[in-house]
Amino acid sequence: MTDIRWGILATGGIAHAFTADLRTAGLDVAAVGSRRIEAARAFAEQYDIPHAHGSYDELVADPDVDIVYVASPHSHHLEHATLALEAGKHVLIEKAVTLDADEARALRDLAAARGLLVMEAMWTRYLPHMVRIREIVAAGTLGEVRIVSADHTQRLPSDPSHRLNALELGGGALLDLGIYPVSFAVDILGPIATARAVGRLAETGADTEVAIAAEHAGGAVSSLAVSSRAAGPNTAHLVGTEARIDIDRVWYTPTSFRVIAHDGTVIEEYTSEVDGRGMQFEALYAEHLIREGRTDSDLLPFDESITIMATLDDIRAQLGVVYPKER
C-alpha cells in the first residue's frame, strides 16, 4: 500500500479494469461509491476495499480518500469531478475528460482555484512503449515525422439504449474511441490546426464511423479512423524522413513495435512486458505528481486535454452530432 488513497466513483466496466490494475500495482484503494449501495458493496468485496458508499456525495466526503477516479459516463464527468474538487479531492477523470472543451475549461479553473490535481485518464500516454516511442522521436531517429496514422475500430453493441449509442450519455465512437488516435496524433505531432471529418451516424444521432484528415501546427498530417460497428487492425504508424515506427495491434494497449529505416533495416524492436492491463501507470504518475505538490501532468497537460476536446467539438460539428445540452 502507498500513502495516497484512491476513491472509485462509479462501478462500471472501466472502473473494474482500473481498480484491478491498482491492486496489481499494490496501490491503496480506500473507498468506492455508487448510486446503489448494493453495487458499491459488491465492488468493494471483489477488490477488498474497506469503504462502500451508496452515493457519490458520501464517497467524496470520505476522509480516507485523497484522489477520486471518475469512471462515470462522459455526460457526468463535469458534475462528478466538480463534486470531488469541491470536496478537496484530487481527480483523475476517465477519457474523454468531458463532453466538450467548455466543460474541461470549467474543471481546469476550479482545480486551479483549489490547488488540486486534475488529470485526464488517457492511460495510453503513460504506457512504457509510448514512453519509449517519444524517446525515439525526440532523439531524431525518425528524422522529421511527417505522417501519423492510426485506427481504433471495434464491433461494439448496436443497441440504441447502450451507453455508446445514447447521445444523452455522450455516446458515439468519436468520444469513446476516437479520443485515442486524436490524442496520440497530438502527442506526436502537436496541436491540430485543421481537421476535416466525414462519418456515419446511428439512428440515435450518435456517430458510428469517423474518418479524420488533419493538419498539425508544424505542417505534418495525420490520418485517423474510428468505428464502433466494425473491428479493424487497430495499428498505428509514425512515418519520418529517415525511418518509421510500426506499432502492432492493439497499439493503444501494451504491445510491440519496430523502428524501420527507409531502406528496410530494422533499427529496434520493442515488446511490452506489463502486468495487468496497464492502467496502473497513469495512477502511479498521478501519485508522483501529488507527492511533488504538482497540479498538472507534463505528459498530458490539462490545457492539452482542452485543446483536444476543442478539436473533437469541431469534428462533431462537421458530423452533425449534437448533444441534448446543446439543443
How far, in Å, CA of 169 to CA of 147, rounded?
33
* Nearest alpha carbon to residue 174 among 288, 76, 318: 318
Q: Any idea what DSSP says for residue 158? A: -
CB 198 within 8 A of CB 223: no
**In this prediction, what percent of the chain has a pLDDT beyond 90?**
98
307: three-class secondary structure by DSSP: helix
Nearest alpha carbon to residue 28 among 64, 67, 62, 1: 1
Q: Is the pLDDT of residue 289 over 90?
A: yes
Question: By three-state DSSP, how is residue 295 classified?
Answer: coil
Name the fold adopted by 128-273.
Answer: Dihydrodipicolinate Reductase; domain 2 (3.30.360)
Average pLDDT over residues 151-155: 98
Please write the tens of the pLDDT for every residue from 15-32.
Answer: 999 999 999 999 999 999
More confident call, 245 vs 327: 245
Give me the DSSP letters along 51-104. Answer: EEESSHHHHHH-TT-SEEEE-S-GGGHHHHHHHHHHTT-EEEEESS-SSSHHHH
pLDDT of residue 326: 87
User: Residue 279 gets which letter from DSSP?
Assistant: T
SS3 state of residue 274: coil
Region 5-121: CATH code? 3.40.50.720
Q: What is the pLDDT of residue 2?
A: 62
The domain limits of the chain are 5-121, 128-273
